[in-house]
Structures are given as C-alpha cells and as structure tokens.
C-alpha cells in the first residue's frame, strides 16, 4: 500500500473546496448568531461513557475507542456532537435555568460510514435549544434548519416530519416489553408493513393495538395525514398531543412542501418526540436531521427539554457559490526587507501580499498586481 493513501471513506479537502466550506461555515455561524445561538467547541475526545455510548447502541457502534495512556480509562472519539452540547448545558451552564441556545461546527469520526457514499469524518454543524418544552421551540429550530440548507443549491426543499411519541405511546398502552418495542421499531424503520402485521399477530396483541401498529406504516403523505391519523389511531392523550404538535408545525410553514410519515422513526435512542428533516430534490439522502430529545441531560445531572438539528457540511461541496481566491499582490523577494512596513500595512488592511521567488505559487502562474518602488515610494501597479 502506498504510504500516502488514506483509509476508506476518509478524504482530504483541497484549497478551493476548503475555501468554499470555510466561507459557508462562517456564513452559517453568522446566521445562528443573529438568531441568538452561541458557539461552543466541545473536545474531539472524551471518556467514552460521557459520549452516551452506553445508552445508544447506534452511537456506540459508530464510536472509535482508544485507551487513555494517562489514566488507563477508555476514551471515545466523538461520533456525534449533540450529547456533548447536552453535557455543556446540563453541567457547565447549569447556572442558567432559562433557555440556552447553543451552536457548533466541528469534525466527528465514525467507525463505519453511514452509507456507501458517506464519509467517516463528517463536518457536523448544528444548533440546539435547551429549556423550553413547547412546540414553538421546534418551530424555531425547523425555521433555522430551512434557512441553513438554503445557503446551498439543493433544488426544491421538502420538510419531512415524524413523531416518535406516537409509536412509544402505542407501545406503552399495548404493554410491550422493551425488547418487543425495539424489535417492532426496527421493523417500522424497514417500512415492512407485512412484517409488522405478522409480528403483532404472533404476539397475539389485543386487536385494537395490533391494528394501530399495522396502520402506522401506511400513515404517510401530505399534511392531511394528521387528520387521517386522528380518525384511525386509538384515542390516547399522548397520541393526540403528538398529532397536535405535527399540526402546529404544518400551520407554522403554510408555504413549505411538507411530507409526514408516522413510521419514519430513524432516530438516535435519545430522541423523544417530534422528528424533522430537510430533503433536496437533487439529493439522495436527507441534508439535515433534527428532533426533540427531552431529558438527555439527566445523564449529566440535569434533565432539560431540548430540541435541535445538525448536518454534515461536506454535503454542501459542489453546491455552493464559487468562492474566488483573494486577489494577490506580488512583491519580489529581494524587495521584502525594504518594503516590510508597507507589506505589513497592506496585510493589516486585508490585502493578500505574497513573496515572489520567481516561480509559480499555489497554482498561480501570473499575478496581475505587483508592489514596486517608484521614485522612492512603494506603489501597487497592474502588470
């Protein structure tokens, strides 16, 4: 194997692309900032139990572990930044009992890629809101998510909605064991209505619950699904509350193309309620995903209502406006000492000044402007 080869699903980002990504990262963090979200920088590595690998099987399988040579304890390289931000809210920002709006942008590392075309090193960008349980907070985050994906060209955007609360309310009412609920949830995620029906028949569930679980994979489509679900699903308070939240989101975005799927339950174990995702007509997968995860902070000593979204900024590659290279001013290396003060002043003003050693630099064969001495003064001339 060549010594320069990288592991599978790991790739370098070269100058022109890196310039575009950094530009959009700054733009997105600026967008978050004007909506009141403060930037945090969690560490790349923590003790593995702090990354919640013990409570989320999917997250645990993604997490790469190493032994800490200082303490001898097991470390984990983060596969998801959301649990880290929940820890920050619950522990480091515990003095604030009100709302914390936090955002982040950093690399995560996966032991395996999520899909054949996915990287193992996503650049995860996201925003989280802690301390407010009402659906209005979810509406705020969905609005911010849609504004975020709009900075790149993904075609027509579809807002996809689901609600894990419907399934969990039915599972509780049907008195399913934790193992049965996990098994049925897995079948739901595979969209296999026949398997769902066969499984609930095998368990000999009460007819009402068997019918409800069999219905879930069929309850998908446009906004009218909410009304349809009200007439077909059992009249449980938690189910009605979940449908009310879905309706509230639909009402908040009257012009947005919306798809609702009550069996769209592709979630991390820590999600507890409303689920949302943004899809583009030119993409094979979701651009951004989010949802409510109330109580996650209990693992760090403070249970808080929470909602948020994230996405891999690398998905934006090739879909961003071209970010041109900063125009350069060249100065002959023999003149650097004499022109030192002028060069530093130009750089302080934001100009790019490069030293010309008589060969190409960064792929540039020609620079159209040069710093030269004329009549005892340093001038920038076009060449």
Q: Output the known binding site.
A: 80-82, 124, 128, 266
- Closest to 152 (Cα-Cα) out of 28, 38, 32: 28
Which residue numbers belong to the known binding site for L-histidine? 80-82, 124, 128, 266
Region of residue 42 (phi > 0: left; psi between -120 and 50: alpha; otherwise: beta): beta
Q: Could you tell me the two tokens for 65? A: 């572990």
Bridge partners, residue 280, by sequence: 157
**d(Cα 84, Cα 47) in Å, to the nearest integer?**
11
Bridge partners, residue 372, by sequence: 379
**d(Cα 140, Cα 135) in Å, to the nearest integer?**
9
Give the dihedral of Cα atoms 323, 324, 329, 330; nearest 10 deg. Answer: 110
Query: At what angle are helices 237-252 and 135-149 packed, to 10 degrees?
Result: 40
| DSSP letters spanning 98-163 | S-EEEEEEEE---SS-SSTT--SS-EEEEEEEES--SHHHHHHHHHHHHHHHTTS--SSEEEEEEE
What is the chain's length? 383
Bridge partners, residue 264, by sequence: none
- Closest to 302 (Cα-Cα) out of 98, 45, 59: 98
**d(Cα 308, Cα 128) in Å, to the nearest integer?**
4
Is the separation of the CB atoms in 164 and 267 below 8 Å? yes
**How many Cβ atoms sit within 10 Å of the Cβ of residue 113?**
16
């Amino acid at each position: 194997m060549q010594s320069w080869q990288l592991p599978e699903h790991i790739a370098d980002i070269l100058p022109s692309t890196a310039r575009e990504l950094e530009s959009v990262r700054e733009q997105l963090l600026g967008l978050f900032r004007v909506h009141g979200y403060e930037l945090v920088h969690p560490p790349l590595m923590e003790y593995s139990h702090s990354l919640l690998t013990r409570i989320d099987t999917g997250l645990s399988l993604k997490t790469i572990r190493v032994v800490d040579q200082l303490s001898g304890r097991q470390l984990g390289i983060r596969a998801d930044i959301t649990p880290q931000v929940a820890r920050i809210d619950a522990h480091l920002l515990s003095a604030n009992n009100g709302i914390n709006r936090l955002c982040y942008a950093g690399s995560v590392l996966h032991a395996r890629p999520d899909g054949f075309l996915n990287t193992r090193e996503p650049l995860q960008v996201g925003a989280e809101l802690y301390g407010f349980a009402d659906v209005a907070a979810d509406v705020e985050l969905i609005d911010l998510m849609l504004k975020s994906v709009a900075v790149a060209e993904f075609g027509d955007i579809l807002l996809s909605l689901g609600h894990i609360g419907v399934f969990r309310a039915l599972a509780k009412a049907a008195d399913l064991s934790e193992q049965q609920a996990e098994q049925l949830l897995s079948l739901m995620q595979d969209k296999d209505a026949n398997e769902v029906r066969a499984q609930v028949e095998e368990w000999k569930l009460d007819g009402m619950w068997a019918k409800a679980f069999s219905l879930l994979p069929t309850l998908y489509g446009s906004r009218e699904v909410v009304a349809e679900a009200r007439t077909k699903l059992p009249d449980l308070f938690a189910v009605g509350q979940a449908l009310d939240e879905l309706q509230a989101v639909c009402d908040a975005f009257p012009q947005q193309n919306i798809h609702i799927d009550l069996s769209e339950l592709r979630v991390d174990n820590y999600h507890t309620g409303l689920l949302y995702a943004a899809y583009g007509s030119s993409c094979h997968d979701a651009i951004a995903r989010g949802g409510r995860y109330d109580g996650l902070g209990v693992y760090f000593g403070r249970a808080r209502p929470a909602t948020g979204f994230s996405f891999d900024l690398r998905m934006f590659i090739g879909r961003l406006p071209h970010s041109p290279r900063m125009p350069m001013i060249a100065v002959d290396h023999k003149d650097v000492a004499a022109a030192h003060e002028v060069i530093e002043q130009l750089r302080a003003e934001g100009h790019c000044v490069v030293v010309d050693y008589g060969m190409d630099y960064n792929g540039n064969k020609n620079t159209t402007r040069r710093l030269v001495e004329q009549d005892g003064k340093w001038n920038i001339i076009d060449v």
